[in-house]
Amino acid sequence: MTPRTEHRPDMSVEEFEELDRRAPELVRLEFIGGRVAVKPMPDGNHSEIVAWLQRLCMQHRPDLWLHAERGLKTEAYREGRARADGVLVPPGAFKGHGEWSAPDDALMAVEVTSWDADAARRDRVDKHAAAGIPVYLLIDRENCSVVVFNQPENGSYQHEERLPFGATVHLPAPVDITLDTEPLKELAD
């Protein structure tokens, strides 16, 4: 048996998409770096954090919408599939798309860490930088911090700012939203 490497993925993108279509609704799948990853279903606090961020985005940027649980085509030549907890885009950006969309109109991707053993590795990779998404917001419940990544270049974010829950966090252009993260203290668990 030939071992899997970055050049020999577990399966093709088409095979992954078929597997994802047939997967039970209890799991969410991603295809990153040629490997299938299982993302756990969000717990209540995870969902509340995404809803909190949706409300703030609507208040500060009514010209945009934060879609929850959106599938994105990522990585070089769009050979990966990532399911972001949130994707900020102009209205209608995903109109007519299937489950997996090109990230061309995405201004920001959002991930909220879960309590599974694989969350740290899965949410802290540059899957969104590889897709060229300008801003990546990581809400890290394990470390009670908010991390803002921006300036994607060559598959990595060139700038990173980590602030504790409770701090005021500015999401840079093209997002241009300032968040008071005090409410996250109650949702860290």
Annotate 116-164 with DSSP letters as a single string: STTHHHHHTSSHHHHTT-SEEEEEETTTTEEEEEEEEETTEEEEEEEEE
Distance, in Å, from the CA atom of 2 to the CA atom of 162, rounded to the nearest integer, reads 41
Domain span at 126: 42-187
What does the pLDDT average to over 4-12? 66
**Could you tell me if residue 148 is inside a domain?**
yes
Is residue 128 assigned to a domain? yes
Looking at the structure of the chain, the number of domains it has is: 1
Distance CA 178, CA 171 (A): 6
Q: Name the band, by pLDDT with cuts 50, 70 and 90, for residue 27.
A: confident
Domain-located, residue 14: no
Question: The pTM is what?
Answer: 0.83
The per-residue pLDDT for 3 is 45
Residue 119 pLDDT grade (very low, low, confident, very high; cuts 50, 70, 90): low
CATH assignment of the domain containing 140: 3.90.1570.10
Flag whether 161 is in a domain: yes
Q: Is residue 115 part of a domain?
A: yes
Is residue 182 a part of any domain in this protein?
yes
Average the pLDDT over 126-150 and give the result.
92
29 is a domain residue: no
> Within 10 Å of residue 76's Cβ, how many Cβ atoms?
9
What pLDDT, on the 0 to 100 scale, is given for residue 78? 65
Q: How far apart are CA 72 and CA 67, in angstroms?
A: 11
In a domain, 21, yes or no: no
- The answer to which of 98-102, 117-121, 181-185 has the lowest mean pLDDT is 117-121
- In three-state secondary structure terms, 85 is strand
Which string of DSSP letters, residue by residue, matches 5-16?
A: BTTB-SS-HHHH
